[in-house]
């Protein structure tokens, strides 16, 4: 029994603990459907590009506000009734886990900026329990969001339509480290992935 218990505890620990070294993702590591063809050749040097958007409070924010932070990014729209409510609820769990840690932030980009104006984002944020300065819901020019999604976060598909910047968001949550590198992709609709995301953030917090 003692041997069995020791084996069980060791296995459980190995399963639950984060990887000793989380991978650094490049465009070559991701489904090509999610990646703009102009960046598919980039290797481990891939980083999130500079950006500037407007959040739910009408405040302009940019990568400078996230400098030196660990953050989770995703893409959504306020009137989505399928995966978005689940993703938002699960991001709420991440927010709660790091509520008092200023080193961890959340960043949600609308893929329908023509509809999701600042007042719409403000209402959504209030309804979903978003904490200002911890979780930013952002809007901006559709082409800017599109290019960032496709060329930096490697997280959305191009829609089958005639509109140049039309996007199909996915369930992906993207973990970004202090150096603006992608360290993980997680299914925002699955509890197990949210647990893994929280664990991986805790791991990154130990890395200086």
Distance CA 176, CA 103 (A): 12
Q: Kind of pairing, strands 172-176 and 70-76? A: antiparallel
* Alpha-helical segments (H) within 17-166: 84-97, 118-128, 142-147
Distance CA 76, CA 120 (A): 13
Q: Kind of pairing, strands 104-110 and 70-76? A: parallel
Structure tokens at 162: 């005639």
Tell whether residue 84 is among the known ligand binding residues.
yes
Which residue's structure tokens are 């911890």? 134
Tell whether residue 78 is among the known ligand binding residues.
no
Do residues 171 and 137 touch, judged by C-beta distance below 8 A? no
Tell whether residue 41 is among the known ligand binding residues.
no
Distance CA 136, CA 114 (A): 18
Q: List binding-site positions.
A: 80, 84, 169
Q: List binding-site positions for Cu cation.
A: 80, 84, 169
């Amino acid at each position: 029994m003692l041997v069995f218990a020791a084996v069980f505890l060791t296995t459980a620990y190995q399963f639950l603990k984060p990887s000793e070294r989380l991978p650094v993702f490049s465009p070559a590591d991701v489904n090509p459907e999610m990646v703009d063809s102009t960046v598919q050749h980039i290797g481990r040097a891939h980083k999130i590009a500079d950006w500037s958007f407007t959040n739910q409070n009408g405040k302009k924010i940019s990568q400078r506000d996230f400098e030196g932070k660990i953050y989770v990014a995703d893409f959504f729209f306020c009137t989505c009734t399928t995966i978005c409510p689940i993703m938002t609820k699960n991001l709420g769990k991440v927010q709660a886990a790091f509520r008092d840690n200023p080193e961890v932030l959340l960043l949600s980009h609308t893929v329908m900026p023509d509809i999701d104006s600042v007042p719409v984002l403000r209402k959504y944020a209030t309804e979903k329990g978003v904490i200002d300065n911890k979780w930013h819901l952002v809007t901006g020019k559709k082409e800017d969001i599109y290019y960032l999604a496709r060329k930096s976060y490697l997280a959305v598909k191009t829609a089958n339509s005639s509109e140049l910047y039309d996007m199909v968001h996915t369930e992906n949550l993207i973990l970004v480290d202090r150096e603006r590198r992608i360290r993980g992709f997680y299914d925002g609709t699955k509890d197990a992935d949210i647990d893994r995301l929280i664990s991986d953030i805790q791991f990154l917090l130990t890395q200086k």
